[in-house]
Structure 1
Amino acid sequence: MVSYSFFKNTLLFSLILLAACGNSVNTKMDNSSNTVAENKKAIVKIPVTQTIKTGADNYEHYLPLLRGKKVGIVTNQTGIITVRGKQEHLVDFLLEKNIALQKIYAPEHGFRGTADAGELIKDGKDTKTGLPIVSLYGNNKKPKPEQLIGIDILVFDLQDVGARFYTYISSLHYVMEACADNNIPLVVLDRPNPNGSIVDGPVLEMEYKSFVGMHPIPVLHGMTIGEYARMINGEEWLQNNVRCNLAVIPCTNYNRSMPYNLPVKPSPNLPNSQAINLYPSLCFFEGTTISVGRGTNMQFQIYGAPFLPKTNFSFTPMPNEGAKGPKHNGKVCYGEDLTKITPVTQLELKWLINAYEKANNNKTEFFTAFFTKLAGTKQLQEQIEAGKTENEIRESWKEGLTAFKLMREKYLIY
């Protein structure tokens, strides 16, 4: 088992050398209380001079922590690293570097990222490397002690998209909790948040906690997954207030106002930057009888239903990768095409309100029970049903957003 003192000292030496051009760099373990003063002491700032490098790309700063250890890794198809100008998967890279990888732990959609949302993923073996794969979805969201036997240190490398209901941050919570329970250090390789400058939406009320919303944060949290891990630790959100022995390898040459295009799809139904940008706003439709284009090649860039008024735009969902049984399968849906609109800079409600208003006789069945889990509150559905305007609804978020932004400030790296 890696000793805490070795891990802390090695990481401090490694990260103090890391030139975080224009960034805030975490140079110590997040194993004590987080205050603004403490975090400022752990920050080095250097002017931007180069292109963005992810935490995974900064391998010279985490490979020393892994050598001679039995390593587990939480990752999927987004675990891409650039080496000498070429992209390869982090798992392959670590094996090339003779790191003793023992197991792969895969989140929703599986290690290769091809499964449907919510689909049961079974444990298995990676056909390329022969490594065993442990599914962290379904009934096994938190790694069990027996699944961590023989692991000295765990690496976490998943690409988040900045939305509360994107379940990779829920997997992060359970991985941190399991590491804390089993005295295993965790290294989070940070990646830019493609929606990183937006903080918006209703703050989750804890009575509606679920795997699509575990913490009292807004729909768009405006943090990288490394910053979010620091928040989970600092706010003591893990069960029994345990704390994870956490290290974040930061991105360099990055600030959250920069546009960032992902090298691969983060999940089957987010095929491009437009979908990723619109996902937080359109995902509310997942808790309604409206389709967001699953079963097409324009997922989360369109919306519609057979019962909406006929327009010049229509689509017909059919089974495809990531949508074996899409909503309104085989039926013509009428709605709106958002594939060419300017990227949004806030959580948009206008499409949800518009669809509800046009649902006519289908209004009573418009919302499903899943909507409240996505919203994190009953209030949003009640406001829409009551005919509140978008501005009136947004006004009700202000107090919660102000409090969250104040809390968030303590954990920001960039």
Structure 2
Amino acid sequence: MASKWMFYLREMAHRMWFRASLYCALAIGTVLISPLANSWVPGHWATVLGASSIDSILNILASSMLAVTTFSLTTVVSAFATASSSTTPRATKLLIENADVHSALATFLGAFLYAIVGIVALSTDIYADGGRVVLFGVTVLVIVLITVTLLRWIDQISHLGRVGETVNLVESTTRESLIRRARQPYLGGQPYEQSPVAGTHINTLLVGYVQYVDMGKLQVLAEQYQCRIHLESQPGEFLVPGQPLVSVDTTPAEALCQAVRAAIVIGDARTYHQDPRLGLIVLNEIAIRALSPAINDPGTAIDVIGTCVRLLHTWAEERQLASTAVAMQEQHQPRGYQPEYDRIYVRALAEEDFFRDVFVPISRDGAAFVEVGIWLQKALYGLQGCGFAPFHGLALAFAEQALARCQHAMSAEQDITAVTEHFRKLKVDR
């Protein structure tokens, strides 16, 4: 059950208010704890360090941080709106969860509250000279932190919300998700095909997307009820009441049904953690919008193609490494390699779905652009030669589809010839 709560904690930590609340609590706690130093800090240090000026410093800090926080929030909201209109609303979620943005806003808001609470505390005369020295020292550290954060923030807001920055952010998040799934293609369980599905389906009662599967909890339930559990719905799938979540090779008790439903999180939107296809879909939404007549920016679509090729190369490399590691473990362990969740059976992600997510939308909406058509052929040629067997046939099949769309959409014969030449190179080298 801990992993499910870790999922909820991770989701909560991505909210903008979470880090700001921690910084504010730390700031208020520091101010209130400082009077405890009255007895063990020499009082004459206050004169030496000039701690008597702390009142005016805190006043300046409070007024300036209020202005900086307000300006930063306005800038961030504007950047979110720009990203949503120029890329896709699905990418905006990553901007909202950006840790650098959270840190900057939390620092400014925390410094403001620190100054306000410090001013109020000083007015109550709870600080002797020793307490003022500690408060002065903490204030100097806060000023240094604000200075460093401001310098970083100036660089961040210069490209926050821009298309290129958003593409890079989606790429980074998708790569992490792909690597996790490539290293655990069955989410730590066993291949679905190794155990025939027999028994009863446990259906969902909710409408939404599968966001997270608590494999640890399912394993505990399978051991408790002496059964095998087959995951029927992958993270990212959309379900309605009556569709199966899992199937079990026994007649499930009502308690087991309720526990299984509680172990699988269903929400209103897809999440990136266990759903690497979401990142590929978001990247293609960015490319499709760039290819629309209103924007007409094939360069962004070409950039997205290159990004997707890098991500698929990452998947291929990680899958090959994972397969090699499993083979070595099976060779050195007499009883064979045992997965972490040996009673849970999960389907592996299909590489064909990756290719469909990446190449079908762009080849459809970019069929009339000769540069996009050529880059698609180049991308598929590169994936064909990456040494990952599942990509070989898929690259040729999707290259043929892309060529057919170009031949139908392009009016200039020389454009069709240019795309066809690149396709022939891919077909010959196969």
* TM-score normalized with structure 1 length: 0.24
TM-score (norm 2): 0.23
Q: Which structure's residues are more often helix, by fraction? A: 2
Structure 1 or 2: more strand by fraction: 1
